[in-house]
Amino acid sequence: MSYSFYFPTRFFVSNNISTDLPSLIESKPGQDAVLVLADQGVVRAGITQPIIEALANDNKRVSIFNDIPGNPDINDVEKAMRVAQDCQPHLIIAIGGGSVIDTAKAIAILSTHNGVTWEDLQWGRAKIVNSALPLIAIPTTAGTGSEVTHVAVIGDSKGFKKGVVHPSLFPSVALLDASLTKTLPSNLTAATGMDALVHGIEAYLGKRANPMTNLYALRAIKDIVHWLPEAVHHGENLEARKAMLQASSWAGIAFDQAGLGLCHALCGPLANHYHVHHGLGNTVLLPATLAFNALAINAEKWAPLRDALGLPTDAQPAILEEWATKFIRGLGLPTKLRELGVQPSSIEKMAQETLQMAMIGNNIRGASFEDCKYILEKSL
């Protein structure tokens, strides 16, 4: 088979981010303006302050924007862009989860494309023609993998979450420090960790999977299955936090190159209609989606996945639904859509919208409207 693999981001695992961050910044005369993007939860947790102090001690002029919600849209990008236009940064630093990092990617691109809006890029009215500003992505959750991907997903003016994909969206540096994730509550640790697990599984089973992405995906799956329960139930365990942060990035590398599948395709309309947490939506949809996909997993594909999940050697793909449900319950997360407030009346609409999601074409098994409706109803 022919395949390519391109990953230009510098991957740096740190034990002391305040010490390591300045060493990762390329200093040039007259280029000392830094824009730090974060969300208010990260600020309240005290995560940003040591980083800002380290930048100030390195003689950087620091501006901060921390008004980024959990599901940012084009209006949030425009707010952040106004701050960027005022401070004219030479470097962007994103501290937070996928919402913050994706917003930072948008600002890094728009800062080098005068007169272009993010919605122009979303809907093809303009193209990315210049390199982005350097971006250092510092994840505070182990889930989205946005720190290692070349896609940014932002809601458009109508609320539809639309991704932009381009090599210029790769962050310059992915800086991982497990201590920054220790304050994440157990429920969010579980939901974001499950998002990373779905990333790994869908990347491995996707039609665009290749030997390189399989290496990242399978190792991510193995480590998440082992370490996520520990990180959820004993959040102070720094070894578990570090393992999850690394595994999340590995899963991110895998799905960025190999694509996602039906679970994420179903989750898009779910999030749009009910504004549920992305990781939680994928969590609840996973068992029924795995049951649907199990019929398409051949023996060659199954054995490595079975081993990564820690299942017995005689286990068959049909066990996936039961395994996923048990694993999710062990994390204390819901397993049914009704627990998230989903109403039966919205099933047909969400099933129809799933067919418009690009990820569905990469799924290991083709899915029709009736298939999507069935999975949603089974998940209800």
pLDDT in single tens digits along all 380 residues of the chain: 899 999 999 999 999 999 999 999 988 888 899 999 999 999 999 999 999 999 999 999 999 999 999 889 999 999 999 999 999 999 999 999 999 999 999 999 999 999 999 999 999 999 999 999 999 999 999 999 999 999 999 988 877 778 899 999 999 999 999 999 998 999 999 999 999 999 999 999 999 999 999 999 999 999 999 999 999 999 999 999 999 999 999 999 999 999 999 999 999 999 889 989 999 999 999 999 999 999 999 999 999 999 999 999 999 999 999 999 999 999 999 999 999 999 999 999 999 999 999 999 999 999 999 999 999 999 99
Are residues 313 and 170 part of one domain?
A: no
Residue 104: per-residue pLDDT: 98
What element of type H or E holds 307? helix 299-309
DSSP string over 80-137: HHHHHHHH--SEEEEEESHHHHHHHHHHHHHTTSTT--HHHHHTTSS---SPPPPEEE
Tell me if 334 is assigned to some domain: yes
Residues 6+ apart with CB under 8 A from 258: 203, 204, 206, 208, 209, 210, 213, 217, 362
Place of tokens 């093809």: 124
Same domain, 195 and 171: no
Residues 151, 200: one domain?
no
Q: How far apart are CA 35 and CA 79, in angstroms?
A: 13
How far apart, in Å, are the Cα atoms of 282 and each of 31, 41, 308? 42, 23, 20
Question: What does the pLDDT look like over 60-85, one tens digit per residue?
Answer: 999 999 999 988 999 999 999 999 99
Q: Do 228 and 342 reside in the same domain of the chain?
A: yes
- Please give the radius of gyration of the chain, using alpha carbons only, rounded to the nearest integer: 20
As a whole number of angstroms, the longest Cα–Cα distance in the chain is 64
Token match 């286990």: residue?
315
With the CA atoms of 200, 201, 205 and 209 taken in that order, what torsion angle do they form, in degrees rounded to the nearest 10?
0
Domain of 189 in residue numbering reads as 184-379
Backbone angles phi, psi at 94, to 5 degrees: -110, 125
Instruction: Look up the CATH number of the domain holding residue 325.
Output: 1.20.1090.10
Q: Are residues 82 and 213 in the same domain?
A: no
Q: Is residue 1 part of a domain?
A: no
Q: What pLDDT is recorded for position 1? A: 80
Q: What is the pTM of this model?
A: 0.95
Last residue of a domain, one of 180, 207, 229: 180
Our CA angle for 139, 135, 11, nearest 5°, is 55
Distance CA 78, CA 103 (A): 10
Residues 280 and 209 in one domain: yes
**What is the secondary structure of 11-61 as a DSSP string?**
EEE-S-HHHHHHHTS--BTTB-EEEEEE-HHHHHTT-HHHHHHHHHHTT-E
Quote the CA–CA distance of 45 and 32 in Å, as a whole number.
26
Boundary of a domain, candidates 158, 180, 202:
180
Tell me: do 31 and 53 sit in the same domain.
yes
Shared-domain flag, residues 107 and 234: no
Q: Do 79 and 174 sit in the same domain of this protein?
A: yes
pLDDT number for residue 280: 97
Domains of the chain: total: 2
Whether residues 95 and 26 share a domain: the answer is yes
Tell me, rounded to whole angstroms, the distance of Cα 224 from its chain centroid.
15
Domain boundary among 150, 180, 210: 180
- The residue to which tokens 């081993």 are assigned: 307
